[in-house]
Amino acid sequence: MSKMKKYMLISAIIFLCICIGGWFYSISSPSYSHNRIISSYESEIIKLPEPSFNGNISVEKALLKRRSIRDYKDEPLTLEEVSQLLWAAQGITKTDMIDSQYLIHYRTTPSAGALYPLELYIVAGNVINLPEGIYKYKPVEHELIKIAEGDKRIQLSGAALNQACIRNCSAVIVFGAVYKRTTQKYLERGIRYVYMEAGHAAQNVYLQAASLNLGTVVVGGFDDDEVKKVVNMTDDENRPLLNEEPLYLMPVGKVIITEVEKENSFKALPEEFTLSQNFPNPFNASTIITFQLTEALKVQVVVYDIQGREVRRLLDGYVTAGPHSVTWDGRDNTEKNVASGIYIYRLEAKEKGLVSAKRMILVR
């Protein structure tokens, strides 16, 4: 055999070995097995409704309203609500071409190196037009891929120290993370970046839920291996199917308002925006100014002198609906005592164009 032929034969054998090795590696890798689960349900792709970009309330109001809620009504979520929550957590907001060849899809949350290590699942139990089951969220396509059938809420609650909120909700968003995506660039430090990113995404879900009048809570108390089994991150023998770790569970449901709360909120909610006369008036050391709001608003309460110059800013910020009071101690914004005289105090909610003002008398 000529030297050239020998050389070609050896190269062909090496090439063949590499191909067989690569194929063997790919079918024995966790993601291959997981992809098999996904492809067995391939026909079951659920296109999510387009998210809405016009919310019901301002960011400030959503922040004010955000609370961990663990009791929910036995009512279904809509597919629109599920779509909105998943979009808020990891949805695509912008697509760019890098170096004229790579597409990069930016998301609603920041991500170290734009590497996006988070993977979201929805464990659906009571959602209109979404059969009970577990679905993986695909942000770029804004769709769900079914990975398991049946209601898994009780199993998931069992994996989460039997926390009732996981059983009683309509659906649970499971936050998984592929650490390698971030640690291959940032090494050990990447681990903390992944935790931070789960925090960003979870807060987005809280705020979106507040805006949709839904209740949710972040649940970090669970057995990792048990959650992995329920969500198909591992198989029944605990062998990894994916290089994912679960980080958070967020049950979601419609908010229950108890009869007592309803009655209280009815009683507490004033019918009009009012500013009352300060008490005592005239005053010497300090006086109390009371006002009431029909809804949560950003308000200012400012004291002016008779020439209209600002003397003291008593309040500037968001305030809940209901009655409130502020005290003026007769000092200006620099903490100096002001002279005897007539002063005006003014309550203003600029976003609603509401203003009310009254006079008061300081006697030294």
Query: Which residues of this chain interact with ligand FMN, rule CB under 6 A?
Result: 67-68, 70, 163, 217-221
Taking the complex as a whole, how short is the minimal distance between the CB of residue 207 and ligand FMN, in angstroms?
Answer: 12
Among residues 52, 34, 78, 354, the alpha carbon closest in space to that of 178 is found at 34
Among residues 233, 83, 208, 90, the alpha carbon closest in space to that of 152 is found at 233
Taking the complex as a whole, how short is the minimal distance between the CB of residue 84 and ligand FMN, in angstroms?
Answer: 20
DSSP structure class, residue 198: H
What radius of gyration, in Å, describes the C-alpha atoms of the chain? Answer: 29
Taking the complex as a whole, how short is the minimal distance between the CB of residue 68 and ligand FMN, in angstroms?
Answer: 3
- Residue 286 to residue 288: CA distance in whole angstroms: 7
- Residue 240 to residue 23: CA distance in whole angstroms: 19
Query: What are the φ and ψ backbone dihedral angles of 197, each rounded to 5 degrees?
Result: -65, -35
Among residues 298, 271, 232, 314, the alpha carbon closest in space to that of 63 is found at 298
For the chain, give the longest Cα–Cα distance: 116
- 251 or 330, CB closer to ligand FMN? 251
Taking the complex as a whole, how short is the minimal distance between the CB of residue 220 and ligand FMN, in angstroms?
Answer: 3
Taking the complex as a whole, how short is the minimal distance between the CB of residue 249 and ligand FMN, in angstroms?
Answer: 8
Taking the complex as a whole, how short is the minimal distance between the CB of residue 218 and ligand FMN, in angstroms?
Answer: 5
- 198 or 301, CB closer to ligand FMN? 198
Pairing of strands 92-98, 45-47: unpaired
- Residue 167 to residue 95: CA distance in whole angstroms: 37
Taking the complex as a whole, how short is the minimal distance between the CB of residue 46 and ligand FMN, in angstroms?
Answer: 28
Amino acid at 143: E
Pairing of strands 310-319, 354-362: unpaired
Taking the complex as a whole, how short is the minimal distance between the CB of residue 135 and ligand FMN, in angstroms?
Answer: 23
Among residues 191, 48, 208, the alpha carbon closest in space to that of 115 is found at 191
Q: Where are the alpha helices (DSSP H) in the chain?
A: 3-28, 30-40, 59-65, 79-90, 153-159, 164-168, 179-186, 189-211, 224-230, 259-268
Q: Give the chain's count of helices (H) and strands (E).
A: 10, 16
- Residue 354 to residue 364: CA distance in whole angstroms: 32
Taking the complex as a whole, how short is the minimal distance between the CB of residue 69 and ligand FMN, in angstroms?
Answer: 8
- 199 or 270, CB closer to ligand FMN? 199
- 166 or 347, CB closer to ligand FMN? 166
Taking the complex as a whole, how short is the minimal distance between the CB of residue 168 and ligand FMN, in angstroms?
Answer: 12
- Residue 52 to residue 60: CA distance in whole angstroms: 18
Among residues 21, 36, 46, the alpha carbon closest in space to that of 242 is found at 36
